[in-house]
């Protein structure tokens, strides 16, 4: 079942095309890793899909009314600022807003969703703590938990694991895989190609606003593409635990 359908999506910012003719269909059960160098268009693609940027082409998500969109897709932006000293529990409860009627407080179902999200991100012990008094990585986990509490069929997350320690990076990726296992869909932008290969069911490689590869991680990530798109050489081994990639050095411009 399709969770997101984009057709010929293009975005021009300040007269410059930054997303060109992107067509993408994401099914429930998929964890789609968006990869590509800085400025490739990963954030722009997700923001346009959500209807947060003017675009040409079609996004089935952006076409929905705003209230329905918030019950369909959770959006975890790259910026991590938490301005208000509210408790972690309250912050995560904000993820339930799209499900509440006007003036309606959180009910038992909402509290259960908040508990599930706090547990998944290992934040139960922090629930009473002011979110502004968490470390950077803990704040990032609290914001992931807020997006999870929204319990939408689709999660769009922009570099959600940046700044997390290795155990929590793996934990977050496993949580995304678990969401997919429950029949949701996750689209996540990542710079850690090793984690992308290990934990995504599919990779979409963007370069200069275009999709240059889309498919199973092992087919998308090849030494030739790393050289062409990322200008790096990498160590690569197939192990019993799956593929291992480690960037080694930067290639000279041709």
Closest contact distance (angstroms) between CB of 104 and ligand ATP is 36
- Of the candidate spans 39-47, 89-97, 193-201, 222-230, the one that interacts with ligand ATP by CB under 6 A turns out to be 39-47
Q: From the list 2, 8, 13, 216, which residue makes contact with ligand ATP (rule: CB under 6 A)?
A: 13
The answer to the question of residue 150 lying near ligand ATP (CB under 6 A) is: no
Are 1 and 27 spatial neighbours (Cβ–Cβ below 8 Å)? Answer: yes
What CA dihedral angle connects 224, 228, 234 and 240, to 10 degrees? Answer: -50
Answer positive or negative: Cα dihedral of 172, 181, 125, 151: positive
The answer to the question of residue 43 lying near ligand ATP (CB under 6 A) is: yes
Cα 20 from Cα 66, distance rounded (Å): 25
Please work out the total of residues on this chain that contact ligand ATP, with binding judged by CB under 6 A: 11
The answer to the question of residue 93 lying near ligand ATP (CB under 6 A) is: no
E strands present in 130-231? 154-158, 185-189, 202-207, 210-215
The answer to the question of residue 42 lying near ligand ATP (CB under 6 A) is: yes
**Six-digit token pair at 117?**
């999200």
Q: From the list 40, 74, 157, 161, which residue makes contact with ligand ATP (rule: CB under 6 A)?
A: 40
Closest contact distance (angstroms) between CB of 212 and ligand ATP is 13
The answer to the question of residue 36 lying near ligand ATP (CB under 6 A) is: yes
Cα 36 from Cα 26, distance rounded (Å): 18
Note the residues at the interface with ligand ATP (CB under 6 A): 13-14, 18, 36, 38-44
């Amino acid at each position: 079942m399709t969770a997101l359908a984009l057709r010929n999506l293009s975005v021009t910012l300040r007269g410059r095309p930054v997303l060109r003719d992107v067509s993408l269909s994401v099914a429930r059960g998929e964890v789609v890793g968006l990869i590509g160098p800085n400025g490739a268009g990963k954030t722009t693609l997700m923001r346009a899909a959500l209807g947060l940027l003017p675009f040409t082409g079609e996004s089935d998500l952006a076409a929905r009314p705003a209230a329905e969109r918030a019950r369909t897709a959770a959006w975890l932006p790259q910026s991590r600022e938490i301005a208000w000293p509210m408790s972690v529990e309250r912050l995560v409860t904000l993820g339930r807003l799209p499900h509440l009627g006007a003036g309606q407080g959180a009910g038992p179902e909402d509290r259960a969703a908040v508990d599930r999200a706090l547990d998944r991100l290992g934040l139960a012990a922090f629930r009473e703590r002011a979110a502004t008094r968490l470390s950077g990585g803990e704040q990032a986990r609290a914001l992931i938990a807020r997006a999870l509490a929204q319990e939408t069929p689709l999660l769009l997350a922009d570099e959600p694991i940046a700044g997390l320690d290795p155990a929590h990076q793996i934990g977050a990726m496993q949580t995304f895989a678990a969401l997919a296992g429950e029949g949701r869909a996750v689209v996540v932008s990542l710079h850690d190609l090793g984690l992308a290969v290990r934990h995504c069911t599919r990779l979409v490689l963007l370069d200069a606003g275009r999709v240059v590869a889309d498919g199973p991680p092992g087919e998308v990530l090849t030494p030739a593409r790393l050289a062409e798109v990322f200008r790096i050489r990498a160590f690569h081994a197939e192990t019993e635990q799956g593929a291992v990639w480690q960037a080694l050095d930067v290639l000279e411009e041709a």
